[in-house]
Amino acid sequence: MLTLDGIGRTFGAKTALQDVSLSVGPGQFVCVVGASGSGKSTLLSIVAGLVAPSSGTVTLDGAPVTGPGPERGLVCQSGAVYPWRTVERNIAFGLELLGLTRSERKARVDWYLAETGLEPFRRSLPKQLSGGQRQRVAIARALACEPGVLLLDEPFGALDVQTKEDMQLFLRRVWRDTGTTVLMVTHDVEEAVFLGQRVVVLASDPGRVAADVAVDLPDDRDLGVKREPPFLALRAQVEDLVRSYHRRHAGAVA
């Protein structure tokens, strides 16, 4: 269980996050949406242990988070794969740090290459891949360390619509195959509702939890669900929430 309790973060006079409390159960897929500047990346960086909160605590299975750790894998929009390493050596990177033996590393890398469809590209360099394939490498590299929690910060934000939808299907399949807990932030409401079992809406200025919406759609959903009334209703509900908290803020500063 990942638990955020009363998380606040200020940057000088700016309050990026205020009193954010949130729990993500083992194996859950939770999406966080909010307007640009609502504190999504700050929230994820705090869970990753890259940014310290000004107040509050993060615990994972009861243990306080005080810095980065292999049990929490982070993937950002840019992916940040190592350009000089082949695909397989990118995926092996964290395993070297974890001290796995050569044969253990090979078994792990082979499994994640197959799982992510990257086997044909194992000896390619990132520059030889498409944007979507590079994001697969970044996700495979994070997953290979078998983190309890996968943290995703707008991982598909730079991809075209078709590639993005391929990646959404890919991520849902990997999530179901591995049982990993996923906490993903995105500004794309359709993506959040398609992927998440819950969608948490952040309000801006200060960033805080405005709503926590249960996504009551089947776990084996495919892209067709995006055209069905229950999905469209949920999407409209979350879009209205994001917009209303954005407008309230815009009204307050006008």
Using CB under 5 A as the criterion, which residues of the chain lie in contact with Mg ion when the complex forms? 40-41
Q: Which of 7, 31, 34, 200 binds ligand ADP (CB under 6 A)?
A: 34
Q: Which amino acid is at 141?
A: R
Instruction: Give me the 113-152 binding string for ligand ADP, x by CB under 6 A, dash otherwise.
Output: ----------------------------------------
Residue number with CB closer to ligand ADP (36 or 101): 36
Distances (CA, A) of 123 to 43, 84, 188: 35, 11, 33
**Min CB(14)–Mg ion separation in Å:** 15
Contact range with ligand ADP by CB under 6 A, out of 30-38, 110-118, 232-240, 244-252: 30-38
Residue 238 token pair: 């979350």
Query: Is residue 18 a contact point for ligand ADP (CB under 6 A)?
Result: no
Residue number with CB closer to Mg ion (145 or 200): 200
**Min CB(224)–ligand ADP separation in Å:** 30
34 interacts with, out of Mg ion, ligand ADP, none, CB within 5 to 8 A per kind: ligand ADP
Query: Is residue 94 a contact point for ligand ADP (CB under 6 A)?
Result: no
Residue number with CB closer to ligand ADP (141 or 208): 208
Query: Is residue 42 a contact point for ligand ADP (CB under 6 A)?
Result: yes
Query: Is residue 41 a contact point for ligand ADP (CB under 6 A)?
Result: yes
Query: Is residue 82 a contact point for ligand ADP (CB under 6 A)?
Result: no
Site residues, ligand ADP (CB under 6 A):
11, 14, 16, 34, 36-42
